[in-house]
């Protein structure tokens, strides 16, 4: 196997092939992060690294949206791709004693990460999951636009600003809310067009505390990756506890928060609702409080439990049934 690290930015790709891991000998090349640049990258790999793309493992970090297109281009060319968690590669770089941070250095670290860690290859999201993820992302952006416009309207009305400004903000908010409703309808239609998405959403909405927003969010996550266990899903979202202990000192456990803060934000209020209406989560919450956990720790556990139940009903393809007596 040949190991290549790519540091991805908006404009360019810094590529490093680890030619000889024993001596640290490398070969580097820069490509544009464009369609033509991706084709040139594939040609460079074939000419310099290996004519068999399946013998090449390319490691890159998840960098917002800029890594996605090149990852798909390499995957379609038959190259093995790993999209690494930046937190993990940063820890790895620190373990190597790296003091300097440049794009070229980062690509070397990523190549060494592939050689020493042997990460699992990345699998692209199914088209329906990718479309759902894009729709969810757009509706989140619309919600932010609505909130910003409402804040500006509140400020304008408080300061008694121009009536024209106030009227304009009212029109803008109405248009954004109309577009949000239209997009919500498009998401529902998209899910209904795909039988498995439709069924899995119905299964999740059989869980007390899970409504349309949580179900569509969890659909895009669960169908976007291959999770084997509920704990993997909870860890991906950043809901596993981070234990703090040293000698006889015992600190409070906190959520790892290594996943998407947007997903965790959407789970908070449903978890609070579940404490009231979901018997399994309510029983867990009361038990944790009785054992001395704080309310925030118990709510964090409720968020994790809700995610685990969502995974369970989808995995077993059966509606939610409480495990404790009601």
Span 118-155, pLDDT tens digits: 998 998 989 999 999 999 999 999 999 999 999 999 99
- pLDDT over 70 percentage in the chain: 94
pLDDT at 226: 84
* C-alpha 188 chain-centroid distance: 21
159 confidence band (pLDDT: 50, 70, 90): confident
Position 325 pLDDT exceeds 80: no
The residue that leads in pLDDT, 64 or 300, is 300
pLDDT at 244: 52
Average pLDDT, the chain: 90
Angstrom distances, CA of residue 51 to CA of 48, 55, 56, 310? 8, 8, 9, 44
d(CA 108, CA 197): 40
- Global pTM? 0.79
| Most confident range, picked from 86-90, 256-260, 300-304 | 300-304
The residue that leads in pLDDT, 99 or 53, is 53
Angstrom distances, CA of residue 208 to CA of 6, 201, 272? 44, 13, 11
Q: Which two tokens stand for residue 325?
A: 């007596």
Burial grade of 110 (CB within 10 A; 0-12, 13-18, 19 or more): buried
Residue with tokens 């509140």: 154
Position 253 pLDDT exceeds 50: yes
Residue with tokens 């993997």: 232
| Most confident range, picked from 160-164, 243-247, 263-267, 322-326 | 263-267
Residue with tokens 């993990």: 88
How many CA atoms lie less than 13 Å away from 130 in the CB half-sphere?
A: 9
pLDDT at 249: 42
How many CA atoms lie less than 13 Å away from 293 in the CB half-sphere?
A: 18
Identify the CATH number of the domain defined by range 2-117: 3.30.420.40
* Least confident stretch, 233-237, 243-247, 270-274: 243-247
* Least confident stretch, 24-33, 99-108, 242-251: 242-251
Q: How much is the average pLDDT of 208-228? A: 93
């Amino acid at each position: 196997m040949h190991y290549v690290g790519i540091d991805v930015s908006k404009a360019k790709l810094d590529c490093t092939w680890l030619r000889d891991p024993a001596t640290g000998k490398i070969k580097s090349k820069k490509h544009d992060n464009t369609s033509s640049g991706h084709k040139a990258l594939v040609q460079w790999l074939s000419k310099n690294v290996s004519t068999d793309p399946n013998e090449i493992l390319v490691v890159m970090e998840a960098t917002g949206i800029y890594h996605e297109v090149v990852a798909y281009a390499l995957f379609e060319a038959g190259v093995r791709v790993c999209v690494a968690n930046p937190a993990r590669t940063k820890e790895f770089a620190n373990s190597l004693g790296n003091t300097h941070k440049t794009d070229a250095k980062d690509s070397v670290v990523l190549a060494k990460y592939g050689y020493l860690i042997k990460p699992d290859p990345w699998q692209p999201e199914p088209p329906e999951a990718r479309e759902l993820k894009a729709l969810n992302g757009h509706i989140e952006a619309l919600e932010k636009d609505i909130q910003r416009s409402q804040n500006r309207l509140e400020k304008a009305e408080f300061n008694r600003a121009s009536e024209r400004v106030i009227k304009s903000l009212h029109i803008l908010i109405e248009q954004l809310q109309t577009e949000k409703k239209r997009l919500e309808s498009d998401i529902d239609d998209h899910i209904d067009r795909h039988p498995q998405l439709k069924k899995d959403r119905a299964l999740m909405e059989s869980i007390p505390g899970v409504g349309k927003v949580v179900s569509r969010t969890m659909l895009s996550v669960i169908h976007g990756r291959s999770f084997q266990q509920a704990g993997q899903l909870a860890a991906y979202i950043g809901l596993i506890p981070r234990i703090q202990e040293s000698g006889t000192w015992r600190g409070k456990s906190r959520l790892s928060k290594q996943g998407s803060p947007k997903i965790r934000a959407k789970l908070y209020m449903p978890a609070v609702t579940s404490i009231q209406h979901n018997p399994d989560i309510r029983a867990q919450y009361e038990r944790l409080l009785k054992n001395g956990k704080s309310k925030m720790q118990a709510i964090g556990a409720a968020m994790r439990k809700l995610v685990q139940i969502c995974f369970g009903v989808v995995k077993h393809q059966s509606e939610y049934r409480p495990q404790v007596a009601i």
